[in-house]
Structure formats: C-alpha cells, structure tokens
Amino acid sequence: MNKVAEFLKEAKKGLVTVEFQKIDSEEIRVMPCTLNNELSGNKVPVSMNQMIDNDHFAVWCLDKNAWRSFRTNTVIRWYTGEPMATSEK
C-alpha cells in the first residue's frame, strides 16, 4: 500500500475508500471507511493510533456500520471520498 501515512491522515479527517482483495474469497471489496470520530458516530476513539508500519489496519466501515480490517498487501488502491462508479475507475 502506497502512502500509508497519508491514508491514515485522510481517514482521520474524513471519508476514504479502500479497494482491496479479500483473503478468503479473493473478491474485490470497495469499502468506504473512516477513522474520524464524528463520521463514525463516536465509534472511533479519539486517542486511537495506528502505526504506519502495520501490515493491516482497522477502520470504521461506513457501509456496514462496523469495525473492519484489511491487510496492506491486498490493497489495490485507496482515495478520499465516496466509492467511485465503475465508469470512473
């Protein structure tokens, strides 16, 4: 995963979308997520700190309204904002 520090910074500010390959099914998952306390409905602790050298990250998944994690080596790409329509990729 490129630009891990930038990803964490943007996720703490607001909404990011991560596209990654699921380990169990190899399906591509497009996940809108955040590390922002307000956007998560106060589910993300203000003091939560994830290290940039982690091989996986826990995030608040906005479409499932639950904690989810992904491995950095399965990330295809990430970007700020809502998931893009298929034609925008």
Domains and CATH numbers, the chain: 4-81 (2.30.30)
Query: Distance of CA 3 to CAs 10, 27, 61, 63, 83, Å?
Result: 11, 23, 20, 24, 19
What pLDDT was estimated at residue 46?
A: 82
DSSP state at residue 46: T
| C-alpha to C-alpha distance for 56 and 51, rounded to whole angstroms | 10
pLDDT tens per residue, the chain (89 residues)?
779 999 999 999 999 999 999 999 999 999 999 999 999 999 999 888 888 899 999 999 999 999 999 999 999 999 999 998 754 55
CA 32 to chain centre: 6
What local confidence, expressed as pLDDT, does residue 52 receive? Answer: 87
Amino acid identity, residue 34? T
